[in-house]
Amino acid sequence: MLDWQTDVRPVLVALYELMHGQGPPVPITPAEIAVAAGRPRDEEQANTVLSYLKDAGYIDGSLMIDQTTAAVVVEVHQLNEKALQEVAGWPVPGSSEQAMSKMLAAVDAQIAEAQTPEERTRLKKLRSAVEEVGTRLITNVLTKMATEGL
């Protein structure tokens, strides 16, 4: 069984980097993808991962037969939105609202646990400010913090 973090995601990231860094589309071999992912030049495992990515909707590709080796290979045509959300930071539908809801729930929990009336008042003001600023700005701030660190 393939592990997402150690087997699949590195291939997806390598594929993105290989496709993103080139001009017009050119075929990228499974061996090149494996090497770019820091793996041994194992075309069979790379093809297995590419097949899973194709079946899961991360990439558009075709099954081809390599004329020199007679091996079945996955020819990648493009990365789909799902892949770009995973490796290139494309927005995920509904994620803004989810982030906002989680933040407001966290502030609400802090309000409920406040030890003093002053602390509770400050937290309520924070909650009001967050709602007033809006989902887009708060989501951008949270995303920046998550991707660049605190």
Per-residue tens of pLDDT for the chain, all 150 residues: 889 998 899 999 998 988 886 665 666 778 888 888 888 777 788 888 988 999 999 998 887 787 887 776 777 888 899 998 888 878 777 666 777 788 889 999 999 999 999 999 999 999 988 888 876 677 777 677 766 655
What is the widest separation between alpha-carbon atoms in the chain? 76
CB 38 within 8 A of CB 15: no
Inter-helix orientation angle 95-113/135-148, to 10°: 90
pLDDT at 42: 75
pLDDT of residue 140: 74
Give the global pTM.
Answer: 0.60
Q: Give the β-pairing of 72-79 and 59-65.
A: antiparallel
CATH class name, domain 4-87: mainly alpha
- Give the pLDDT of residue 88: 85
Phi, psi of 28 (to 5 degrees): -115, 125
pLDDT at 130 (0 to 100) = 83
